[in-house]
């Protein structure tokens, strides 16, 4: 009887372990998908924001990545955000939760302009 009980407990533990592992993997896959869907990247290259204008849904994280060797800034016209991206590989993230049009520029090179339209 005891042997049977032990075998039963062992199989129960194994089943639970598998369930936890599988559900953990499912959660990991779901969050990876959400991250991919909700992040948009803007490159800063050759003194320009690329793409210059983007449309995103509310809640999207926008990531600027500097591909130039020099400092550029991502400066909002309305002062909501302002960051200096200090050379190649520097990044800056903003999550846009409210619909609207967010114009920005580079404070070092005011001819560099961009806009995020949040729907």
Query: With binding defined as CB under 5 A, does residue 74 bind Cu ion?
Result: no
Query: With binding defined as CB under 5 A, does residue 62 bind Cu ion?
Result: no
For Cu ion, the binding residue among 64, 66, 72, 94 (CB under 5 A) is: 72
- Return the range that interacts with Cu ion (CB under 5 A); candidates 9-17, 24-32, 93-101, 105-113: 105-113
Query: With binding defined as CB under 5 A, does residue 85 bind Cu ion?
Result: no
Instruction: Quote the tokens at residue 114.
Output: 């961009």
Query: With binding defined as CB under 5 A, does residue 67 bind Cu ion?
Result: no
Query: With binding defined as CB under 5 A, does residue 52 bind Cu ion?
Result: no
Q: Which is nearer to Cu ion, 40 or 90 (CB)?
A: 90
b/e code 65-93 from CB counts within 10 Å (16+ = b): bbebeeebbbbeeeeebebbbeeeebebe
- Positive or negative CA dihedral for 55, 57, 58, 59? negative
Instruction: Quote the tokens at residue 43.
Output: 């490159």
Degrees (nearest 5) of the Cα angle 117, 118, 119? 115
Query: With binding defined as CB under 5 A, does residue 56 bind Cu ion?
Result: no
Which residues are near Cu ion by CB under 5 A?
72, 106, 108-109, 112
């Amino acid at each position: 009887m005891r042997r049977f009980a032990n075998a039963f407990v062992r199989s129960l533990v194994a089943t639970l372990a598998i369930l936890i592992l599988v559900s953990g993997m499912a959660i990991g896959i779901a969050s990876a998908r959400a991250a991919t869907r909700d992040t948009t990247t803007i490159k800063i290259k050759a003194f320009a924001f690329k793409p210059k204008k983007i449309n995103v849904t509310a809640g999207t994280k926008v990531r600027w990545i500097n591909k130039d060797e020099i400092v550029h800034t991502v400066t909002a016209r309305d002062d909501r955000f302002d960051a200096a991206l200090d050379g190649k590989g520097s990044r800056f993230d903003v999550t846009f939760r409210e619909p609207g049009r967010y114009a920005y520029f580079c404070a070092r090179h005011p001819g560099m302009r961009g806009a995020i339209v949040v729907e």
